[in-house]
Chain A
Amino acid sequence: MLVLAGAGSLSTALAPPVAAVADEDPVDVVRRLTGKTAVESERVHLAMPPKFPTGYTVPLSLTVDTPMTAADHVRHVRIFAPLNPIVEVVNFHFAPGRSEARVSTRIRLAKPQFVLAVAEMNDGALLMAKTWVAVATDGCA
């Protein structure tokens, strides 16, 4: 059961996100998962390899263009892999003046798909970016 929380935050009371069907529009996926409309924005940079030999540990780098001041900062960034059995991957929280809006990590992908980054800014706006990752088994490196 999908529960829409108050307008100001991404609620953690939502039901576990159901995997998307292939071809579902990323904006629709985000609306279904967060209850809000995210706008694709060049301020959000989601860097992942377009091809990778395994889905077991795929590198991900994220940057959001923001001065991280009290007046203009990103609060959190959620990463979604809509074709994974469990869609939400991680939610990063940043602090203005303390941390940069920048993180690198590794994630698991069950199949080739668009990976989504959804950034919530301090004014409540949701900015998103997507990147296609074709994971495969290519054989011995």
Chain B
Amino acid sequence: MAAPDNHTQPAFTPVPRVQVPASAVKGEAFQVRTIISHPMETGLRKDSMGAIIPRKIINKFICRYGGTEVFSAELHEAMAANPFLEFYLRADESGKLEFEWHEDGGAVFMLEYDLAVA
């Protein structure tokens, strides 16, 4: 029986998380923090048999407010695992914040938050 390969990483569902304030002041910048549990497999590593472990990363992050893209990023292999992004937005009226993480292969993970702007 072959020795178990200690690099087989069974699939699991990445968990995205977001920290946003419950409310913001009109026109004033507020902080958004996002993180998603993901190995960001670069496609450069080999398993113990010498075979390349295929690339699988979160390749895109999009933040929309009121339906409009306000911040986004294309992520490549050199982004650290469990990609963390902290950015700053301004809003003039209350609305919905939407977050999307796109994974190689087409899966999309989403979160949304209502933001009250006074």
Interface of A toward B, CB cutoff 8 Å:
56-58, 81, 84-95, 97-100, 102-109
Contact = CB atoms under 8 A, between A and B. Distances in A.
Contacts of A95: 68-71
Nearest to B32: A99
Contacts of A99: 63, 70-71, 87-90
Contacts of B68: 95, 98
Best-surrounded residue of A58, A86, A105 (most CB of chain B within 10 A): A105
A104 B32 CA distance: 10
Contacts of A104: 84-87
B79 to A, nearest CB: 6
Classify the secondary structure of B's interface with A: strand
Interface of B: 29, 42, 44, 63, 65, 68-81, 83-91
Contacts, number: 90
Contacts of B76: 86, 88-90
Nearest to B87: A103
Nearest to A57: B80
B5 to A, nearest CB: 22
A139 B65 CA distance: 44
A108 B44 CA distance: 13
5 contacts: A57-B80, A81-B78, A100-B87, A106-B84, A108-B42
Nearest to B81: A57
A89 B78 contact: yes
A106 B81 CA distance: 8
B80 A56 contact: yes
Contacts of B77: 86, 108
Nearest to A61: B86
A105 B90 contact: no
B35 to A, nearest CB: 10
Given A90-B76, A99-B88, A105 B70 contact: no
Given A84-B78, A99-B88, 15 more contacts: A56-B81, A57-B80, A57-B81, A86-B42, A88-B76, A89-B79, A90-B75, A93-B71, A93-B72, A94-B71, A98-B90, A99-B63, A105-B79, A106-B83, A108-B78
Contact of B74 (A56, A90, A106): A90
Contacts of A56: 80-81
Greatest chain B CB density within 10 A among A56, A58, A90, A97 is at: A90
